[in-house]
Structure 1
Amino acid sequence: MEQGKFGAMVVCCILGVGQLVAWNTILTISDYYYQVFPEYHPSRVLTLVYQPFVLGTIFILVFMGKKKKNQKQIAIGYTIFFIGSLLLIILDVATKGEGTLLAYIFLCSIVACFGMANAHVEGAMLGELSFMCPEFIQSFVAGLGVAGAITSALRLVTKAVFDKSPNGLRKGALLFLAFSTLIEFICMLLYIYMFPKLPIVKHYYAKAESNHVEADETKITQLSNKELLDQNMGLAINLFLIYALTLSIFPGFLYENTGEHKLGSWYPLVLVASYNVWDAFSRYIPLSKHLKIESIKWITSCVLVRFLFVPAFYFTAKSADQGWMVLLTSLLGLTNGYLTVCVLANKPKSKYNVLETDALGNLLVSFMLGGIFAGVCLGWLWLIGTKSSF
């Protein structure tokens, strides 16, 4: 089974990219949406639209419980990602890039669908991969970071190519959306037709089925959501705090509260790219066991220390130059990706069956998404007492 392990890890990484590339596309072309919808705070509002649908869907999935395999749920999620990405292109072409209220409402509706797709994919994938092996989880979570790095790199390229051309910002955004749509199409096909047929994956699916049959025959009582949460409360709270802090700063603060600098319109793009590149890089660090934190106490300590980023960003935006802000943003991404993998790849206290790992995956993702939503809401506090930037 070790023979096909690397190939499966590559597929997991690509599926991780597909799980987040649609949403990262929205975040990364925010400068275009600020041009089209200047009065509607796109970066903040779209994030605020996205999160309730992610949270609402994941909570429904958690409380409905798990009665069958995840494959259908995940396939539905990737299909929604693909259709939604395609509709973004159709919307922009149909409206010719004009920022009408109706177009903005339609944009928000597509973003809401992305939220539902995220909830269908992320928790189910983590639950499914948890029953396989830690390397698969690490590869999938690393793919989430790679999605950000790829989208940021592509955005910088499209801006450089189209910056001086007429309607260049729109051309770059459309090319970007086309790339995102292609990635989602590939991921949809990969998961439906290739991933389940990999020998090592078939082995784990057979093992999961055997485990499920054995549990039914022996009448083993499945742990409830409350019992699973009690056993993994430290992991859940840490995930919540990691993303509450990160999303209170990224991306809204970086777009609206960092002032004007020598880089001009490139400045927010460079900041977002710095965050995404270091976030992606740091997700591979725990692949080395010597560099991975496994103690919950040490993880919690690192998570709490990260809250020093709040005063650090405030004073840097107020009085420091752009170099310090890039450094600080890079550190934010570095710690976010690293601690996320340390938490999600942490060995569970007990040996769970396949249904319990599915439920635990959804529970952990619900706390992570709750943290993201809390961070998005807290991000609006940066606007108190200021009209734009510090």
Structure 2
Amino acid sequence: MSFGGRKFRVVKDSFDGGGQGKVYHAEDEITGLPAIYKVLDRPDDKNANGKARLRYMVDNQIGASLPQVCPPLVPREKRGELGYLTLRAPGVALDQDRPRRFPERLETAWILACHWSRLEAQGLAHGDVAPSNFTITPEGDVWVIDTDGFAAQDPFVPQPTMVGQHPFLAPEIRTARNQKKPIAATINSDRFAWTVLLSCVLLNRHPTDGLKVATPAKFDKVMMSGKWPERRRRPKKGETPITALGNDLPLLFDKAFNATPAGRPSANDWRLALGRALQNMVQHKCGHVFVAGKRNTCPWCGQSYQPLLSAKAQDQLTIRLRALSKPEATEFTFKRGERLILGRSNIPGASAFVSSEHLALAIIGNDLHLENLGRNGTLIAVKGRGEQLLSRLVTALPGKALDGAVLTLADTKVALGISAR
């Protein structure tokens, strides 16, 4: 089959594509690039509104501006069949991931919030937030998939016909469905769904697990109560208690589960709070890791603890970027709790192939984190090593191992310098 002049072949029979259609593994006949071909088979998705929504995602190049999000890239309509081609995200679905310890789950939640904040900044709601619509690699890289149920703040874009999956629906969506009234996903309803997902990731369970919600009506009642259901349960032995989340995150969950849609925290609120939580992780001598709270006791064993980070922990770094063809460098200073975003407008000598947001740097705990955001990728060449594709890199502070490295952002090469302040 042809897409935009390129030929792809289906390499695997269809598999579950959710409620909107069939999904096929495909690959570029020349390059072997893995892809996904999805056929939309619901009447509401194949009518004029469905076609307009699909065209919006393609024409606005959502994929180019939101790396690690896999939206429709090329539509295809032939013999009454409407479908689209998208990238095949690496990894497995979140609900099929290997068991991860609390520090990994906290970092996964932060990465999810970063992706979410980028969607929200574009005026987009995912519309179908659930673990099955995110993939994660063994290294912890997270991808957003199945975005064709999106909702846009643009009034000229038709509303989605689906509102998400039952365990993650916002109270206003549940009310409308129970009353058989039409309703569409919004930024506010998406905020509720993302909150439920973050709760699942952080605590490794759905907020209603262990509660008496055997019927849909009882489930809805708990999820519509305006209170975070985790407040009603006691964790079983071996489960993560909510006190392991520190002070800020439980308060955000309380606010997010408020039945008033406008009162829910934004994606950026969650991104910042989760970033602070990563900074405040401590490990008790009993072996458990948790976010430091007001009480200086371990949530598991109840004994007192000492923070891992000392008063001398690295709190500020200066990054220098120099185009290889020029002698002068551009400096960027950022502090703990901040996320430095580098892109086309501030990277010296950047070409048009460099994304507007291409590379993110953050101080987390005792490490410096670098994350590629660019659609055209980033390569890094550290002294004594060859070039490696950079997805997400973690190095001990103050980052001396990366001082002098060469970054290739899309097609733009820059020398990297790092100094502590």
| TM-score interval for Structure 1 and Structure 2 normalised by the shorter chain | under 0.3
Give the strand-richer structure, 1 or 2. 2
Greater RCO, 1 or 2 (C-alpha within 8 Å, sep 6+): 1
Give the helix-richer structure, 1 or 2. 1
**TM-score, length of structure 1 as denominator length:** 0.26
